[in-house]
Structure formats: C-alpha cells, structure tokens
Amino acid sequence: MQEYPIKRGMTKDLENRIIAELKTCFSVEPQKTAKGYTIKFGALKRLDVNPGKDGKSVIIDTESDMKVSDDVILDTNKRFRKYLDAITGFSTKERVKRAKSPAEE
C-alpha cells in the first residue's frame, strides 16, 4: 500500500478523476468498494484506489499476477505510471523526489 500526494489545485473533484483516469488509462470499468474503487488489468490481479482521508492524497494498493508474460507486465507498468501521473499531477521524477525528501530529513 502506498500513499501518493496530489498536486495542489488538482484535489477538487478527486473521486470523479479517480474513476475517469482508471477508465482512460486501463480501459476498464472500475468497481465501487467500501473505501474507493478497484480494477483488474493485465499483470494486476487487483488495483485498489482510495482517496486519502485529508482529500489531498490517494492510497493505492496492488496485487501482482506473476504468471503473465513480460510484454503484459511492461504494458501494465506503463499504464500504471501514466495513471499515477494523471491522478497526482506529478511526473514520475517529481514523485521520486518528493518521496526522498521526508526520508532524507
């Protein structure tokens, strides 16, 4: 389970963006759960996305399927990174930098 901060200005209407970006990036209809939304796609047996309690982050939990081909894994990872970029407003490089900052302090 990982919590990702959302870029300021992108927190408005977060729940609708979670749904829309899941549809856009993975081309599947997300299922509503008690806390958020879940999908199954490619190398992901389960991808759960929940809005953070403060509304300024998303909590993502994944379960991988290790029996799929390398091509499926690469495609799934590419789509997952695209989803994170779209939902958080931060690029991969920015997310890594933000994740390192609290650890270095």
Q: Give the model confidence (pLDDT) of 10-51 as tens digits.
A: 888 899 999 999 999 999 999 999 989 999 999 999 999 999
pLDDT of residue 55: 84
pTM: 0.88
Among 54, 56, 16, 60, residue whose Cα is nearest residue 38: 60
The contacts found for 20-24 with CB under 8 angstroms, 24 or more apart, are: 21/83, 21/86, 21/87, 22/49, 22/83, 24/86
pLDDT of residue 99: 80
Q: What does DSSP assign to residue 35?
A: S
d(CA 16, CA 79): 19
Residues 6+ positions from 6 with CB-CB distance below 8 Å: 14, 52, 56, 57, 58, 87, 88, 89
pLDDT digits 0-9 by tens, 43-72? 999 999 999 888 899 999 999 998 999 999
Contact 42, 79 (CB under 8 A): yes
- The domain made up of 2-98 is a member of CATH 3.30.310.190: yes
Give 13-28 as a 3 state SS string.
CHHHHHHHHHHHHHCC
